[in-house]
Amino acid sequence: MGLKPATNPDVEAATIELSIDGKTVTAKDGVSLYDVISSTGKIIPAMCYHYTFDPFGSCGMCLVMQEGKKAPVRSCTAKATAGMIVRTEGDDLFQARKKAVEKHLSVHPLDCPVCDADGHCELQDMAFQHGVTNLANAKQKFIPEDTRSLVLDFNMNRCIACAECINVCKDVLMIDALQFMKKGGFNQVVAKGDLPLACEFCGDCLAVCPVGAITNKFSKYLYKPWQMKKTTTTCNYCGDGCQMYLETKDTEVIRVTSPLSWKNKWGDRADTAKGHGGLCVRGRFGFEYIDSAARLKRPLLRKGNQLVEVPWLEAMHAIVDRFADIRKKHGPEAIAGLITARCTNEELYLFQKLMRVAFRTNNLDSSARYGHMNFVRASKHALGVGRTPNDWEDLTKAKAVVVIGSNLTETNPLTSVRIKEAIRVYKAQVVVFDSAVTNLSKLASHPVLIKPGSEGLVIDGLVKAAVELDLVDEESVKQYPQAYAALKTAVAPLSLEQLAARTGVPVAQFKEAATIFAESPRSIILCAEGIVRQPDGYHNVLKLIDLAWITGKLGRPGCGVNTVTEEPNEQGAADMGVAPEFLPGLASFDDQAMRDKLAKAWDATLPAIGTGAHLMEILKRCRTGQIRALYVVGENPLATLPASAEVRAALDRLELLVVQDPFLTETGSIAHAVLPATTSAEKDGTFTNLEGRVLRVRQAMDAIGESVPDWQIMTALANGLGCQWEYDSANDVQAEIMKLLPGYYNLGQPRKITPTAHTYLSNGYAAGAAARYKRAPSDGQRPFTLQMGQLLYHSGKLSTVAPGLIKIGPNTGRIRMNPADMEGLGLQDGSSVKLTSDRGSLQMGVQLDQSVAPHTCFFPEHFNEPPVKDLMSIHVDPVTGVPSFKRTGVSIEKL
């Protein structure tokens, strides 16, 4: 059938004219007739059709009359041709469609009262619309329900064989986990090979199933659709910022549904380039943390050795008194604050205002410091903008994508679906450099396995190849002859052969990748954890900017250097100024104009220029006793950082540790006070996703127990400390931000930014260039590289309190290894090993994993049992203060 060309702007097809219901319509030759009809605004029935994938043509509902044909034709699979005369309405068509519905119902179980799709079923709608009343002779199929999957049940008695589930999985997600199989005399949907479903568990098949043949295990037989409150909000797991519907009943979350649905089937590829509306497993099945029994319901104060529940008033009085006392005795520099990038923009803004105005300190940081800040700082330094220049549409329509150090399917699954569409629909060349066999590398045109830790050298190789092959864009370099001369001098000592030996990338592949990137009209670089969370992340982003600059890809539409954010609001944390070096709007902390503006708006004096500490410096000052009180909002440094960061020693020394969180975390359990905060399902606000889109977070239910949104707690704290804040809602905070940062709330649209490297390339570029191409990571002495990273089924530690996700992705407590390495060490799945790094040893089991590259082993960063993170050394970026601790050399011995 092929792709639908009219909806792919890249496909050349003649423009034709045809007649639909007497009106002349223009279309591209060869497009699905159904698409042409729906583009006129006419909606005709279609049960097996969805615009996100190619037509299948099984349900017999989209019938139209085409002049010259005796019988009705299926418009979804018919191709539009010039001069076609088409009629979409009439009694003959109504009767033909009614017959199709009757045929489906003749083998339907009609168990609507106990079907989760009751009231949300296209077959019901079609029966109703066509007046089908004779249901007495329906034959049952008596197919046993397939309940083998962890999240979905398959009831094939209800299946209408529309193949939407199979097609979305194969076409859109490129996973291809489902198939039809003839079983018991019926064509049934089964997981490939009729095995228990083993896939990404995104649930998009569930979303597009027009009947109740696929059901959600987590919400089965609980409520009918109309009994639930449906709230449109933004996912709280990663920076993709997917829109979702939280369906709740009182203070219980029942299920999550997506904009992608069989109900939303009219559109075109221009729409899917911006996102197909689906969700990943975390978004769809990871909601159970919200109403978890483990949620904190009342404030806790330490009394003796115990944290005991107290009323809010008592907790707030105690906290305010102790903060005020410490500030009075030791000055504001003795106080610091950390906040998670899972908070809303409004809360992040209030947090930095609280720290700077109420506590009068600039010791503040967010979880964006764990990596994203490397990208923000490098991009801001070189291009004057601190975020990605491209949105999902640019990514989808790119002709060349270089993915380096990013296992996107695991960290940002819906961004990875954009690259899949770039591959499938727009025929992009995709080069993936990674030290693991990632899901995306299996689909890429150019998968390149690199040695662990060699990402920086790979970039050196790409820049060197671009210079050596003269792939430079004359326009871009001739304006900055000194900078280009400096870059050429910096890379002159590099040898592609030597880089090939150190990275594992053959010289020819360096040249090919550089050529693909340079010669494509729309080229995008996407770097992530393997760059920004590793040593030298800041300089490596600058080197990627060098590559984009010399090949003419800076500032050109559809081109640029991008990253992804792992938490939902890391970009917002930077934009709101939650960092000692930034003010709101990503203005420098020493930007006098912005300081004056804020001082006036806040009626306060800002902390002095030159003061302030970031995450690692805060912890150091806690250890030395300079910082005596720490306010931690949603962060959990004790469980996140390795033992070598000496977090416990830092926290133990504090006179006051206040933790504000929906759960009692490891850090909370040693705090002096713990305040119960709500999750994002119980509050309003906004997140800024990785594209720079500001997206609404909406309150879907009442707060659990006595928990309170973070912004309200911060307001109470500020007022307790002498401020007079009068925020009654998140909207009030938003109004203040709008005044300070005009244009920030361009809701739903990525704000257009124009990177400009002029100042950077004109001043002081040379010295920096020379230094960054001299930096070379050491190859390490131990035979294996231990890598900690993210799993698709989890996000930070938050997902580990979502039972559904734990069921899908449990902590096996075992280290994952490649089969060849296991064989080399005489290991089998389940064998025990001793893992030794420079920081210590650990005994644990081994698990076979094909995706782990040779000479590496992997452990998911979400789990601390056993404490693999404590084998890690920590390296703090001297420019940005970003701590890297996800990779280390290890020896592995069989026990």
Please give the residue ranges that form the binding site for ligand SF4 (CB under 6 A).
159-165, 168-169, 173, 175, 177-178, 189, 199-205, 208-209, 211, 213-214, 235, 237-238, 240-242, 279-280, 282-283, 412-414, 795
Which residue lies nearer to ligand SF4 by CB, 127 or 211? 211
Which residue lies nearer to ligand SF4 by CB, 237 or 784? 237
**Cα–Cα separations (whole angstroms), residue 731 to 94, 347, 573, 734:** 50, 11, 18, 5
* Interacting partner of 46 out of ligand FES, ligand SF4, none (Cβ under 5 to 8 A depending on kind): ligand FES
CB of 276 to ligand SF4, least distance (A): 11
Which residue lies nearer to ligand FES by CB, 48 or 301? 48
CB of 809 to ligand SF4, least distance (A): 13
Which residue lies nearer to ligand SF4 by CB, 84 or 189? 189
CB of 112 to ligand SF4, least distance (A): 15
Which residue lies nearer to ligand SF4 by CB, 215 or 362? 215
* Interacting partner of 163 out of ligand FES, ligand SF4, none (Cβ under 5 to 8 A depending on kind): ligand SF4
**Alpha-carbon span 151 to 809, nearest angstrom:** 12
Which residue lies nearer to ligand FES by CB, 80 or 786? 80
CB of 257 to ligand SF4, least distance (A): 12
The footprint of ligand FES on this chain (CB under 6 A) covers a number of residues equal to 12
Give residues 75-134 in contact with ligand FES (rule: CB under 6 A).
76
Half-sphere exposure of 728 (CA within 13 A, CB side): 0
Which residue lies nearer to ligand FES by CB, 97 or 886? 97
**Alpha-carbon span 610 to 590, nearest angstrom:** 8
CB of 63 to ligand FES, least distance (A): 8
Which residue lies nearer to ligand FES by CB, 171 or 617? 171
* Interacting partner of 740 out of ligand SF4, ligand FES, none (Cβ under 5 to 8 A depending on kind): none
CB of 416 to ligand SF4, least distance (A): 9
Which residue lies nearer to ligand FES by CB, 62 or 403? 62
Three-state SS at 306:
strand
For residue 293, with 0-12 CB atoms within 10 Å meaning exposed, 13-18 middle and 19 or more buried, which class applies?
exposed
Strands 685-688 and 306-309 come out as: unpaired
Q: Which residues have a Cβ under 8 Å from the Cβ of 470 and sit 6 or more positions away?
A: none
Compose the 7-46 pattern: x for residues touching ligand FES by CB under 6 A, - for all others: ---------------------------------------x
**Cα–Cα separations (whole angstroms), residue 88 to 16, 49, 75, 295:** 19, 16, 9, 55
CB atoms within 10 A of CB 524: 29
**Alpha-carbon span 88 to 92, nearest angstrom:** 10
CA angle 693, 697, 699 (to 5 degrees): 170
* Interacting partner of 413 out of ligand FES, ligand SF4, none (Cβ under 5 to 8 A depending on kind): ligand SF4
CB of 242 to ligand SF4, least distance (A): 3
Closest CA to 633 of 354, 366, 338: 338
In contact, 45 and 129? CB cutoff 8 Å: yes
**Alpha-carbon span 396 to 270, nearest angstrom:** 10
Which residue lies nearer to ligand FES by CB, 209 or 528? 209
Residue of minimal Cβ distance to ligand SF4: 283
CB of 397 to ligand SF4, least distance (A): 20
Give residues 41-80 in contact with ligand FES (rule: CB under 6 A).
46-49, 57-62, 74, 76
User: Counting runs of H as helices and runs of E as strands, what totals does the chain give?
Assistant: 33, 36
CB of 57 to ligand FES, least distance (A): 4
CB atoms within 10 A of CB 775: 14
Closest CA to 562 of 387, 410, 408, 695: 387
CB of 123 to ligand FES, least distance (A): 12
CB of 76 to ligand FES, least distance (A): 3
* Interacting partner of 165 out of ligand FES, ligand SF4, none (Cβ under 5 to 8 A depending on kind): ligand SF4
CB of 523 to ligand SF4, least distance (A): 24
CB of 504 to ligand SF4, least distance (A): 30
**Cα–Cα separations (whole angstroms), residue 68 to 83, 86, 92:** 12, 10, 16
Expressed in angstroms, the distance from the first to the final Cα of the chain is 56
* Interacting partner of 634 out of ligand SF4, ligand FES, none (Cβ under 5 to 8 A depending on kind): none
CB of 192 to ligand SF4, least distance (A): 9
Which residue lies nearer to ligand SF4 by CB, 191 or 315? 191
Residue with tokens 């996407």: 526
CB of 177 to ligand SF4, least distance (A): 4
Beta-bridge partner residues of 231:
246
Closest CA to 422 of 242, 273, 232: 273
Half-sphere exposure of 432 (CA within 13 A, CB side): 23
Which residue lies nearer to ligand FES by CB, 76 or 127? 76
Which residue lies nearer to ligand SF4 by CB, 101 or 414? 414
* Interacting partner of 240 out of ligand FES, ligand SF4, none (Cβ under 5 to 8 A depending on kind): ligand SF4
Which residue lies nearer to ligand SF4 by CB, 281 or 320? 281
**Alpha-carbon span 441 to 437, nearest angstrom:** 6
Beta-bridge partner residues of 251:
none
Q: Where are the beta strands (DSSP E) in 143-242?
A: 152-154, 178-183, 186-191, 214-216, 229-234
Beta-bridge partner residues of 450:
none
* Interacting partner of 237 out of ligand FES, ligand SF4, none (Cβ under 5 to 8 A depending on kind): ligand SF4
Radius of gyration for the chain, computed over Cα atoms and rounded to the nearest angstrom: 29
* Interacting partner of 256 out of ligand FES, ligand SF4, none (Cβ under 5 to 8 A depending on kind): none
Give residues 480-539 in contact with ligand FES (rule: CB under 6 A).
none
**Alpha-carbon span 164 to 205, nearest angstrom:** 7
In contact, 163 and 170? CB cutoff 8 Å: no
**Alpha-carbon span 532 to 292, nearest angstrom:** 33
Which residue lies nearer to ligand FES by CB, 56 or 858? 56
* Interacting partner of 61 out of ligand SF4, ligand FES, none (Cβ under 5 to 8 A depending on kind): ligand FES
Which residue lies nearer to ligand SF4 by CB, 237 or 858? 237
Residues counted in the chain: 895
CB of 43 to ligand FES, least distance (A): 12
Which residue lies nearer to ligand SF4 by CB, 279 or 769? 279
Is residue 166 a contact point for ligand FES (CB under 6 A)? no
Q: List, in sequence order, the alpha helices (H) in 191-340.
A: 204-208, 269-272, 281-285, 312-330
Tokens for 801, please give them.
């309190």
DSSP 444-499: -SEEEE--TT-HHHHHHHHHHHHHHTT---HHHHHT-HHHHHHHHHHHTT--HHHH
CB of 318 to ligand SF4, least distance (A): 37
* Interacting partner of 448 out of ligand FES, ligand SF4, none (Cβ under 5 to 8 A depending on kind): none
* Interacting partner of 242 out of ligand SF4, ligand FES, none (Cβ under 5 to 8 A depending on kind): ligand SF4
Which phi and psi angles does 124 have, rounded to 5°? Answer: -60, -45
* Interacting partner of 414 out of ligand SF4, ligand FES, none (Cβ under 5 to 8 A depending on kind): ligand SF4
Half-sphere exposure of 680 (CA within 13 A, CB side): 33
**Alpha-carbon span 255 to 224, nearest angstrom:** 11
* Interacting partner of 283 out of ligand SF4, ligand FES, none (Cβ under 5 to 8 A depending on kind): ligand SF4
**Contact positions vs ligand FES (CB under 6 A):** 46-49, 57-62, 74, 76
